[in-house]
A = this chain, B = another copy of it.
Amino acid sequence: MPRPAEALLDVINDWGVDRLFTCPGSTEAAVLDALVLREDVELVLTTHEGVAVSMADGLARVTRRPTVAYLHANVGLTNGLSNLGAAQLAYSPVVVLNGIKPSSIQAREGFTTARRMRDLVHQYVKSDWQSLTAQAIPEDVNRAFRTAVTEPAGPVWVALSQDLMESTADVGVPDAAAYRFDSRVRPAPDAVRAAADLLAAAERPVLVAGGELARVGAVDELVSLSERLGAPVLHEDRRGFERPGFPTDHPHFRGQYEVGHPLVRRADLLAFLGARVFNEFEPARVPPLPTGVPVVHSHTDPRHVGMIYGVDAALIGDQRLVLEALSTALSKALPPVPPREVPPAAPAAPRAPSASGGPLQPADVVDVITDSLRGSAIVGDATTAGGILQQRAHQHTGDDYFVSTSGSLGWGMGAALGVAMGMPHRHVAAVLGDGVFQFGLPALWSAARGGLPVTYVVMNNQSYAAVGAALRRYGGEAVARQRYPGVDIAGPRIADVSTAFGVPGRRVDSLADLRECLDAARTVDHPTLVEVMTDPTTFGP
């Protein structure tokens, strides 16, 4: 029988995991040592725990399988927390193993211990536990995987103290296969019937596709449903959007949900499928749901349904099973549901070309990015340009565009590397803000080390433009004096920082140069970065 560290790697491997993302300390010696002889689990070294967690998250998002981040002590955990929040919101089954100091010095409040480690993490995980004996480690880790992948999936945390991990005890390894089962559920028949009745009776239903559809692979089912119903489809509200639940190039696609959208204004039924209703950025200035329009809300996670707004029909369960059940119920409806005609899309407003010669405008830059990177998977982590990017990025599948609703700046720099690991035949780009860049930049080390051909595009407006926009909305002395404290972060030559990290960078200030850089980036077999200078006075919405 193996020792604890070997058994732990056996469990990990039994769950199909072949990488372990970490930024280790001395506490993790046993597992590092056990990795020396393993061919089945690769150590992916990072230089910051935030990168370890976001890489594990990105990989889980595309493979839809569990991943492992191994953190170090209380300091490593706190450094990884904000990106763990991102993994949680994405339902990523990231198993966080946390090396902690030997039991005896925990009690004595020794170096890098915390009396209540679990208070730090419990809000970000489905389960938190500290193994109490060496014998329990394989079982505890196995249970962590089982809990992480059970739907709704999500991160789980297990603390492993150094004394137990270095124990010479032989320990048993559970049979992981016996803990893997299909945990998806379907709504009760009445609930399906009620929702189907509403859909069948509606004359102008609008379907709102949430990122959860993409996570569980239910996008095709929504395409069928929308075609069956002749119903237009919107992506969910911007603040809840994490990935596309419907192809933007489908003839039924009509943009993104907002209460003022013409189709929403004329709708007689709204069906939110795998969507948040809503992830509020601030208290709504206008009610985000039209008055008197029935609402169907479907989500894998019951936590979201009825969280803020009451519903007329609720569907709790796996979104693919939900859509299949709905489809079956609709096919049995009497009288048969007639196909409706989807209202034509509003003609795109001609986009006024920006005056040439001035500083680049974010919208023009986004146009070049989304045009040049058509076919690439894009990870978005740009606070103020994010809205435009989301509207214009090509999203044919649920794996074409990824963002986080966590507000964890810098998440995208590591997540893009995990996404690239999970899609080795696909070009991956990360579109970042310059503020974001400073939060995630140890990811450049991992990019260089891994040689992953990820393209980082940093839109450098030299500003915390979101803060500027907030001050403008606030309308106080900042506006009166045209002085915006806390906004100007000009200075770093981001392309040069990147080059110094081993990721060749180039700064551009024309759209032609940007296009040339992006075209070149797609053909090389290593990471690159392009820093595009944009107008610092465009604060965004």
Residues of A within 8 A of B (CB): 22, 24-30, 32-37, 43, 45, 47-48, 73-75, 78-79, 81-82, 85, 101-102, 104-105, 108-112, 114-116, 119-120, 122-123, 162-163, 166, 239, 279-283, 307-308, 405-409, 435, 438-439, 441-442, 444-445, 448-449, 464, 466-467, 469-471, 473-474, 476-478, 481, 483-486, 488-489, 491-494, 496-497, 499-502
Q: Nearest Cβ in chain B — how far from A162, in angstroms? A: 7
Chain B residues closer than 8 Å to A78, beta-carbon distance: 78, 81-82, 85
8 more CB-based (< 8 A) A-B contacts, given A28-B467, A33-B476, A108-B307 = A24-B486, A45-B485, A47-B435, A105-B281, A110-B279, A120-B120, A448-B491, A492-B500
Mind listing 25 A-B residue pairs with CB under 8 Å?
A24-B464, A25-B407, A25-B467, A32-B478, A33-B478, A36-B476, A36-B481, A45-B486, A75-B407, A78-B78, A78-B82, A81-B120, A104-B283, A105-B283, A108-B308, A119-B119, A120-B120, A163-B283, A438-B442, A441-B441, A441-B442, A448-B491, A491-B501, A492-B500, A492-B502
Residue in A73, A102, A470 whose Cβ sees the most chain B Cβ within 10 Å: A470
Partner of A26 from B119, B467, B485 at Cβ < 8 Å: B467
For the complex, what is the distance from the CA of A87 to the CA of B120, rounded to whole Å?
A: 18
> Do A405 and B497 form a contact, CB below 8 Å, given A119-B122, A282-B162, A438-B48?
no
CA of A464 to CA of B29 in the docked complex: distance in angstroms?
12
Question: Is the CB–CB distance between B36 and A483 below 8 Å?
Answer: yes
Q: Which residues of B contact A438 (CB under 8 A)?
A: 47-48, 442, 445
Contact assessment for A123 and B123 in the assembled complex, using a CB-CB cutoff below 8 Å: no
Contacts of A101 in B (CB 8 A): 282
Which of the residues B32, B120, B435, B439 comes within 8 Å of A123, measured between beta carbons?
B120
If A43-B485, A406-B75, A445-B491 touch, whether A33 touches B474 (CB-CB below 8 Å) is: yes
A123-B112 contact given A445-B492, A500-B500, CB 8 Å threshold: no
**Complex interface: chain B residues within 8 A of A74 (CB):** 82, 85, 407
Contact at A110–B281, with CB atoms within 8 Å?
yes
- Asked if A477 contacts B120 (CB within 8 A), the reply is no
Q: CB < 8 Å: which of B102, B471, B473 contacts A282?
A: B102
Flag if B82 contacts A82 (CB, 8 Å). Answer: no
User: What is the bound-complex CA distance between A114 and B122, given in angstroms?
Assistant: 11
CA distance A416 to B58 in the complex (A): 35
Count the copies: 2
* Closest chain B residue to A467, Cβ basis: B24
State whether A32 touches B486 (Cβ < 8 A): yes
Roughly how many angstroms separate A408 CA and B492 CA in the complex, as a whole number?
25
Closest to A35 in B: B485
Cα(A454)–Cα(B283), bound, Å: 44
Residue contact B26 to A477, C-beta cutoff 8 Å: no
Q: How far is B243's CA from A140's CA once the two chains are assembled, in angstroms? A: 41
Residues of B within 8 A of A111 (CB): 239, 279-281, 405, 407
| A110 surroundings in chain B (CB, below 8 A) | 279-282
Q: Which residue of B lies closest to A500 (CB)?
A: B496
- Residues of chain B lying within 8 A (CB to CB) of residue A112: 406-407
- Alpha-carbon gap, A281 to B119, bound state (A): 22
Contacts of A493 in B (CB 8 A): 500-501
B residues less than 8 Å from A407 (CB atoms):
25, 73-75, 111-112
Q: Hey, which chain B residues are within 8 Å of A470, CB to CB?
A: 25-27, 29
Q: Is the CB of A283 within 8 A of B32?
A: no
Option from B24, B75, B108, B435 in Cβ contact (under 8 Å) with A408: B75
Residues in B whose Cβ lies below 8 Å from that of A502: 491-492
Do residues A29 and B474 form an inter-chain contact, with CB atoms below 8 A?
Answer: yes
Contact A471-B32, Cβ < 8 Å, known A111-B279, A123-B116, A439-B442 = yes
In the complex with contacts A115-B123, A282-B162, A489-B445, A25-B82 CB distance below 8 A: no
B283 touches A102 (CB 8 A): yes
In angstroms, Cα B488 to Cα A47, docked, is 10
Contacts of A162 in B (CB 8 A): 282
- CA–CA, A442 to B492, complex, Å? 10
With a CB–CB cut-off of 8 A, which chain B residues contact A483? 36
A398–B500 alpha-carbon span in the complex (Å): 37
